[in-house]
Amino acid sequence: MIDLHNVTKSYGDVTAVKSLSLNVRDGEIMGIIGHNGAGKTTTLKMIVGLVTPTSGHIRVMGREMSQDSTDVKRHIGFLPEESSLYEKMTVAEYLLFFAELYGVPKRQAKRRMEDILSSLDLFRRDQRTGELSKGMRRKVAIARALLHDPRVLVLDEPNAGLDPLTSFFIINYLKSLKEEGKTLLVSAHNLFHIEYICDRVAILRDGELVICDTMEAIRESLGRREYEVIFQSDDALSYPQEEGNYVFRTSDVAHVARVLERVSENDWALVNLSVRESALEEIYVRLMQE
């Protein structure tokens, strides 16, 4: 659906993106993360045709992407990190104005606007956008990106600066768009949200791709797995104690088996057995420190 091959973008002596090759598959949500200046926003803008690569090729839906690719752009919905609205327009006026720019017939635009705003729990059609809360304004910007029913959505920090409830609502909404068959490329600083909704995650550092894979594969290659056995015993043992319980932690499953055998053989009371795997944030921080 989206293919980048050896894409580089330089601004004078500064190279923002270096020989980036990346593929976003049809019908998936891919997350793209990295520190400020890692090249995320530049990459997204190149994909939607707002910025021209210095070298390399970008294809969307099998077609070469450029600033003149109008036939491709009509299938893309783009949400920039900073998305100003026309504050004197009402929500309905603003969205219908953009629907006209997209070439959506008026009757179809009204129906589509109603469906999208309802799904976003935004019912203030007649209120001026300048009077809306930040969360409501972000929902209007998302509605604008969806008006022309694009197959591909490129979203730069869709929930930036929003309160936790609104932020989580939007993340779940993006997840529902995948179920409608849309392909999403999402950049976000909140790594929990990326881990929650994305099929695969691409990590950039200094304009270069560090890794792109599923969370399961990333944990397998870069993460840590820790087992925890909590049990009770009247015997004086050498295991650490927490809140009156003995606690044994290890990354070696064979050690876990041996402890469980001792618990069973001595009739100690097993309180809990759990497995903790590295979260994306932990893996990301460790990668950035290498």
Q: Please state the domain extents for the chain.
A: 2-220, 224-289
| 66, two tokens | 């450029």
Q: For position 272, what pLDDT does the model report? A: 93
How many other C-beta atoms can be found within 10 angstroms of the C-beta atom of residue 68? 10
Task: Residue 43: name the closest of 192, 190, 195, 187 by CA.
Answer: 187
Q: What is the DSSP letter of 131?
A: G
| Predicted TM-score (pTM) of this structure | 0.83
CA distance 43 to 32: 10
CA distance 233 to 222: 36
**Domain 2-220 coded CATH 3.40.50.720:** no
Cβ–Cβ < 8 Å for 85, 141: yes
> What are the φ/ψ torsions at residue 150 (nearest 5 degrees)?
-70, 155
CA distance 251 to 173: 36
Q: For position 219, what pLDDT does the model report? A: 86
CA distance 102 to 19: 33
The four Cα atoms 122, 123, 126, 130 give a dihedral, to 10 degrees, of -30
Enclosing H/E stretch for 33: strand 29-33
Written as tens digits, the pLDDT of the chain (290 aa) is 899 999 999 999 999 999 999 999 999 999 999 999 999 999 999 999 999 999 999 999 998 887 667 788 889 999 998 888 999 999 999 999 999 998 999 999 999 999 999 999 888 889 999 999 988 999 999 999 999 999 999 999 998 778 877 888 888 899 999 999 999 999 998 888 899 899 999 999 999 999 999 988 998 888 888 899 999 999 999 999 999 999 999 988 889 999 999 999 999 999 999 988 888 988 998 888 87
Cβ–Cβ < 8 Å for 58, 65: yes
Enclosing H/E stretch for 255: helix 253-265
Q: For position 200, what pLDDT does the model report? A: 97
Q: For position 68, what pLDDT does the model report? A: 65
Q: For position 224, what pLDDT does the model report? A: 84
Q: For position 278, what pLDDT does the model report? A: 87
Handedness of CA 126, 127, 129, 134 (dihedral sign): negative
Enclosing H/E stretch for 12: none
Q: For position 113, what pLDDT does the model report? A: 94
Per-residue b or e along 8-21, where b marks 16 or more CB atoms closer than 10 Å to that residue's CB? bbeeeeebbbbebe
CA distance 97 to 91: 10
CA distance 38 to 205: 5
